[in-house]
């Protein structure tokens, strides 16, 4: 197979140039620091800080979700690799306003190791208090503690952004984001692989007529490898799996997120959305908010994920609170 | 037998070179059961470590280990950045003298095994590099009475036994975890890196003997 | 080459199911009428109407840009084919509040024929006054009158939505949108073909190391077929072509749009954005607003377009006015 | 010779069938210089036209043409929906009688040529179906004195001459326009459709003669 063409310059400069792109497009609202940190130019004094981050290559997550009502800084690793700890330390120091800093990032071994060490170093240096709420929404695997962070991470970051903007204390923000984590489930489906920009090689292989339900954002194996099936059949499988996992129940109010992993068309997402609304309606689950788009990608992987977040008044308020960032804003 | 600061530096540089030379082997190993980036990440980290070790003006042997380990942590990224950074950095405080002797070498591996387990939470049997570093440390400690070369040889041999044992394990950590039974038949990439590092160290000690 | 996998049901139901998806996701704000028309459930009485539309397969354009401050209705053709005139007629009648209706759609022969006939039929039936401002932003071809409508259509629709929401008369709205058209230029680049959902076949072919600058949204030939080149070289070619075309000049204030044609990563767009900002800065052209995302796709085509819109106070006000739609909202 | 309402219906149905059968030919022609959807669009339109024509209870020959043309316009979409809808619908008002004779047949093609040019703004030489319908109409008018079959034969032959002439033209309309010189060597897909339609009409008239 031919290598996937990418519009880039030198591969070793990708992450740095992407960060410069965000700074340019922010028109003064963001700046770079410590090489791999994107930070708000002005942070409200006395607010609880929020730092997000992870491996690059999943843009817009996590790097771009920095701004008023979102994260105060993001830390970018190399493509699909956790960022080194000194960048985490620098980000924490850059956003700390004396109220402590919350970390939100995906539950991957490499990220946990690097963010933990980075946070400890920051605390050793300045005494800043740091708490972490991992994104661990992928219900493709059974064990809660080791679940991966995928598309629902967008909701968790959004809620963390609003919580840290409003909260009086780090504990209060942490508790809200923890509640989001508890109520959030995502299931993805991969239709075709993305590629590594350094090599143009695919990140995994699927047969010409195969899809994999639950495949992870880096090609980790999922729930079921299956033949291509009609959208309605696939949607039912995914919704049934998701709903049973929490479980979501009749009378629940939810936010519903359709996330494009990269190359899937909006046409397909809308066909799936139509069926998902129908199925949730039949189950008596009320959709209070719906988001559709590319929030958490895996290069140009074809596929999508569906996330459900069970809402209470607090979570709904935080999800709907205004925010600004390069790729997602709401009034 | 003991290694001077400059000999220790040369040993550590040889270990870095071994990783840099084996990037393709490590890439293939991680492609089999992980996400394929172990080789590239290790090369990035150990290239930086080599530079840091060569540039260091250490007051003790331990400061050389610290310079190398810190460089790996700061540049490698991913799980292995921390794990293999600690592999070098763990003994930094203990090795406060001007030479590396048999006891020092064994204490390095023990410190690495301890700190890596403390931070990473992987236990023996989880199919990680812990399965290589733990038997390496144990074998090295048992050989302390036989001198530095015996310790280095025991360490490398222990790592190989551990790495070979990972072939039949299913993973409980990292990206190979989701593979379940499918991970069987392949060694853990990080365990493989551990053998490459300890083989290079042993070869250097042997040359100097 | 293997057929491109799509998550769909029966191919003949694609457009209909996509429209149902938009209705579901709108949660009461949109409804379908006359089969192929998506219309706002509540339209402000007495406002100038705005109808947009065109062939399907380019989602979100044009279908999804319906809502408060955007279009009042959209008309969806089959994939890559202009909608038949009776749907245009129905849409015009559905949105008419007595102040006349503006049509905004891409300058393609088939669309012009069908929209013109549909508008005439509506006027014959009810006397409604209808005006048209075509989207014709693609400066890949020299002849102004026959230029195609591509990614900049998003800005033109946004401005038309605000103009029709605010204007006292159809003429006033038309004049504003015409000014937008005059000041808007777009140039695209195709990196890899999308596919037709009915067949899974690619819409055009490019060599393994080729790109085409100026290739149209349906595979129409462009300015130059070239070997894959560094992002910075490509960006300079595109910006130079764009700037020379209007021309944009030192001291101009512009809005800058990076549109993902489908499968390009945001990583690549940010690398390009970084260079575009640098080049425009060197030319003394001030960027007052920047948008980055998938606004006008061509199935999962890989590639992107860059649009420049020269602003005056009125256009800037209209572009920044609040709006709501399924895929684009601003506060 | 004249065709009755039912014979005219049968002639129109034969024309629809000819398009439906030739969908692949039209697809290939449009793939060569357009976007490849001409065949699918024409089939969609002429399938609907066939149903409408078969279901119609017309008061005149013209109402049959109108039913077919309106169906094409309403279902085909794209440029060709309007153009080939007008191709059928254009003569609807003129053909107010119960039969289709030589003069009526010729006036159909003339009305089509006129209305298509008026609405579509393409002129002869622009490499569109106008290049086929205009010579078809002219040749048919010239043959009116020789009876219906002669008119139908002249119309089809005129369309073929026009279609053949499009091979060497560069396009000034539609999606082939951007191709410039590259459009040379291929006939216009819509001109090809015109010959298929007029060949089928001629064949039906011939059968009835
Ligand atoms: N918690 C851990 N403890 C010890 N070793 C680990 C741990 N997590 C991962 N590793 C080691 O790291 C190796 C994978 O490294 P690498 O591929 O660079 O990182 P990633 O898994 O982030 O892609 C594994 O083979 C394993 O030996
Ligand atoms: N303005 C026009 N006048 C006459 N015929 C036209 C015009 N525009 C297009 N056509 C005809 O339509 C044909 C293309 O039809 P089709 O492929 O169905 O539409 P599209 O160009 O929208 O894909 C052309 O080959 C040409 O003969
Ligand atoms: Mg990795
Ligand atoms: Mg790996
Ligand atoms: Mg077409
Ligand atoms: Mg066509």
Give the strand pairing for A302-310 and A253-260.
antiparallel
CA distance D33 to D172: 12
**Domain extent for D105:** 3-208
pLDDT at D180: 72
- For residue A82, give Cα distances in angstroms to A139, B120, C229: 22, 14, 29
Query: How far from the centroid of its chain's Cα atoms is residue D107's Cα?
Result: 13
| From A148, A218, A275, A310, the catalytic residue | A218
Bridge-partner residues for A17, per DSSP? none
Chain A nearest-CA distance from C281, in A, is 10
Top pLDDT among C123 and B183 is at C123
209 residues of chain D, pLDDT tens digit each = 999 999 999 999 999 999 999 999 999 999 888 888 899 999 999 999 999 999 999 999 999 999 999 999 999 999 999 999 999 999 999 999 999 999 999 999 999 999 999 999 999 999 999 999 999 999 999 999 999 999 999 999 999 999 999 999 988 766 666 677 777 899 999 999 999 999 999 999 999 98
Name all residues whose Cβ lies below 6 A of ligand 1.
Answer: A 109-110; B 30, 34-35, 37-38, 41, 78-80, 83, 116, 120-122, 128-130, 173-175, 188-191
Query: Which domains, ranges and CATH numbers included, belong to chain A?
Result: 11-182 (3.40.50.10440), 184-318 (3.30.1180.20)
Query: For residues C84 and C52, is the Cβ–Cβ distance under 8 A?
Result: no
Query: For residues A256 and A308, is the Cβ–Cβ distance under 8 A?
Result: yes
Touching chains B and D? (3+ Cβ pairs < 8 A):
no
**Does residue B3 register a pLDDT over 90?**
yes
- Are residues B82 and A221, on separate chains, in Cβ contact within 8 Å? no
- Are residues D77 and C83, on separate chains, in Cβ contact within 8 Å? yes
- For residue D96, give Cα distances in angstroms to D5, D65, D100, D110: 11, 11, 10, 16
A262 CB neighbours in chain C (<8 A) are 263, 265
Over the stretch A265-318, which tens digit does the pLDDT of each residue have?
999 999 999 999 999 999 999 999 999 999 999 999 999 999 999 999 999 999
pLDDT at A1: 58
D122 lines ligand 2 (CB under 6 A): yes
- Are residues A272 and C25, on separate chains, in Cβ contact within 8 Å? no
pLDDT at A247: 98
**Does residue B179 register a pLDDT over 90?**
no
pLDDT at C182: 98
Exposure of C16 by Cβ count < 10 A (0-12 exposed, 13-18 middle, 19+ buried)? middle
CA distance D194 to D132: 7
Which whole number is the average pLDDT over C207-236?
Answer: 93
Beta-sheet strand order (sheet of A210-213): A224-227, A210-213, A184-192, A302-310, A253-260, A286-293
Over the stretch D18-68, which tens digit does the pLDDT of each residue have?
999 999 999 999 988 888 889 999 999 999 999 999 999 999 999 999 999
Touching chains B and C? (3+ Cβ pairs < 8 A):
no
- Reply yes or no: is the peptide bond before residue C247 cis, omega within 30 of 0: yes
Residue B78's nearest CA partner among B45, B117, B122, B113 is B45
Q: Which ligand is closest in space to the CA of residue B174?
A: 1
Residue B33's pLDDT band (boundaries 50, 70, 90)?
Answer: confident
The ipTM, to two decimals, is 0.92
Give the mutation candidate from D86, D175, D186 for the C interface (greatest C CB count, under 10 A): D175
| From C58, C148, C275, C310, the catalytic residue | C58
Over the stretch C48-99, which tens digit does the pLDDT of each residue have?
999 999 999 999 999 999 999 999 999 999 999 999 999 999 999 999 999 9
CA distance C18 to D9: 37
Query: For residues C257 and C309, is the Cβ–Cβ distance under 8 A?
Result: yes
Q: C29 is written with which tokens?
A: 């704000």
Which residue's entry shows tokens 């704000």? C29
**Does residue A62 register a pLDDT over 70?**
yes
Query: For residues A265 and A119, is the Cβ–Cβ distance under 8 A?
Result: no
pLDDT at D178: 64
**Does residue C195 register a pLDDT over 70?**
yes
D179 CB neighbours in chain C (<8 A) are 220-221
Exposure of B86 by Cβ count < 10 A (0-12 exposed, 13-18 middle, 19+ buried)? buried
Query: For residues A116 and B119, is the Cβ–Cβ distance under 8 A?
Result: yes
Number of CB pairs < 8 Å for A and C? Answer: 194
- Are residues C263 and A263, on separate chains, in Cβ contact within 8 Å? yes
| From C218, C241, C275, C310, the catalytic residue | C218
pLDDT at A198: 83
pLDDT at B172: 76
Is A58 a catalytic site residue? yes
User: H/E element holding B3?
Assistant: strand B3-4
* Contacts of C128 by beta carbon, 8 Å cutoff, 6+ apart: C92, C93, C96, C100, C101, C122
Which whole number is the average pLDDT over A57-82?
Answer: 97
* pTM recorded for the entire structure: 0.94
Query: For residues D159 and D188, is the Cβ–Cβ distance under 8 A?
Result: no
Query: For residues A142 and A185, is the Cβ–Cβ distance under 8 A?
Result: no
Which residue's entry shows tokens 């339109």? D45
Is C58 a catalytic site residue? yes
Residue B3 dihedral angles phi and psi, to the nearest 5°: -100, 140
Q: How many domains does chain B have?
A: 1
Helices D148-166 and D130-142: crossing angle, nearest 10°? 150
C110 lines ligand 2 (CB under 6 A): yes
Query: What is the total residue count of chain A?
Result: 331
pLDDT at C310: 98
Q: C77 is written with which tokens?
A: 């053709």
CA distance B14 to B20: 10
CA distance C64 to A38: 32
Query: For residues B66 and B74, is the Cβ–Cβ distance under 8 A?
Result: no
Bridge-partner residues for C192, per DSSP? C302
CATH number of the domain that residue D137 is part of: 1.25.40.340
Residue C221's nearest CA partner among D28, D38, D177 is D177
pLDDT at A274: 98
CA distance A92 to A119: 7
Q: Which chains neighbour C (Cβ–Cβ under 8 Å, 3 or more pairs)?
A: A, D
pLDDT at D177: 67
Over the stretch A216-263, which tens digit does the pLDDT of each residue have?
888 887 888 999 999 999 999 999 999 999 999 999 999 999 999 999
Which whole number is the average pLDDT over A172-181?
Answer: 98
């Amino acid at each position: 197979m031919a290598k996937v063409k990418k519009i880039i310059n030198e591969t070793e400069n990708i992450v740095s140039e992407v960060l410069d792109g965000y700074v340019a497009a922010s028109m003064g609202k963001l700046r770079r620091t410590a090489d791999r940190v994107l930070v708000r130019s002005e942070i409200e004094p006395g607010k609880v800080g929020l730092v997000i981050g992870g491996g690059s290559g999943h843009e817009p997550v996590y790097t771009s979700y920095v701004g008023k009502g979102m994260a105060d800084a993001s830390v970018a690793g190399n493509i699909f690799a956790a960022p080194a700890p000194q960048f985490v330390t620098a980000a924490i120091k850059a956003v700390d306003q004396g109220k402590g800093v919350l970390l939100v990032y995906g539950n991957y071994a490499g990220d946990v190791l690097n963010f933990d060490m980075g946070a400890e170093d920051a605390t050793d240096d300045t005494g800043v208090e740091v708490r972490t709420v991992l994104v661990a929404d992928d219900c493709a695997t059974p064990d809660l503690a080791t679940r991966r962070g995928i598309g629902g991470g967008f909701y968790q970051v959004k809620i963390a952004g609003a919580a840290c903007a409003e909260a009086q204390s780090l504990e209060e923000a942490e508790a809200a984001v923890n509640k989001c984590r508890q109520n959030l489930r995502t299931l993805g489906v991969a239709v075709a692989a993305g590629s590594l920009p350094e090599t143009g090689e695919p990140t995994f292989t699927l047969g010409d007529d195969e899809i994999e339900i639950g495949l992870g954002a880096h090609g980790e194996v999922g729930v079921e490898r299956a033949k291509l099936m009609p959208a309605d059949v696939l949607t039912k499988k995914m919704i049934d799996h998701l709903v049973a996992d929490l479980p979501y129940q009749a009378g629940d109010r939810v936010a519903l997120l359709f996330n494009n992993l990269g190359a899937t068309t909006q046409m397909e997402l809308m066909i799936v959305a139509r069926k998902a609304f129908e199925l949730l309606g039949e189950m008596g689950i009320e959709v209070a908010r719906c988001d559709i788009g590319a929030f958490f990608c895996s290069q140009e992987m074809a596929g999508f994920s569906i996330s459900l977040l069970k809402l209470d008044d607090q979570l709904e308020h935080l999800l709907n609170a205004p925010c600004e960032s390069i790729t997602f804003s709401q009034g | 037998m003991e290694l001077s600061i400059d000999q220790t530096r040369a040993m550590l540089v040889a270990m870095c070179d071994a990783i840099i030379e084996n990037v393709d082997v490590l890439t293939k190993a991680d492609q089999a059961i992980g996400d394929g980036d172990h080789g590239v990440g290790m090369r990035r980290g150990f290239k930086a470590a080599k530079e840091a070790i060569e540039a260091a003006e250490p007051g003790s042997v331990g400061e050389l280990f610290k310079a190398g380990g810190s460089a790996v942590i700061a540049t490698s990224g991913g799980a292995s950045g921390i794990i293999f950074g600690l592999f070098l950095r763990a003994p930094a405080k203990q090795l406060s003298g001007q030479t590396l002797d048999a006891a020092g070498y064994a204490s390095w591996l023990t410190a690495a095994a301890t700190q890596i387990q403390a931070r990473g939470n992987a236990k023996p049997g989880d199919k990680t590099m812990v399965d290589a570093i733990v038997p390496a440390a144990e074998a090295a400690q048992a050989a302390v009475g036989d001198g530095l070369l015996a310790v280095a040889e025991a360490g490398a041999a222990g790592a190989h036994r551990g790495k070979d044992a990972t072939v039949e394990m299913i993973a409980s950590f990292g990206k190979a975890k989701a593979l379940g039974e499918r991970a069987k038949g392949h060694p853990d990439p990080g365990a493989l890196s551990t053998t490459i590092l300890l083989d290079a160290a042993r070869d250097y000690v042997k040359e100097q003997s």
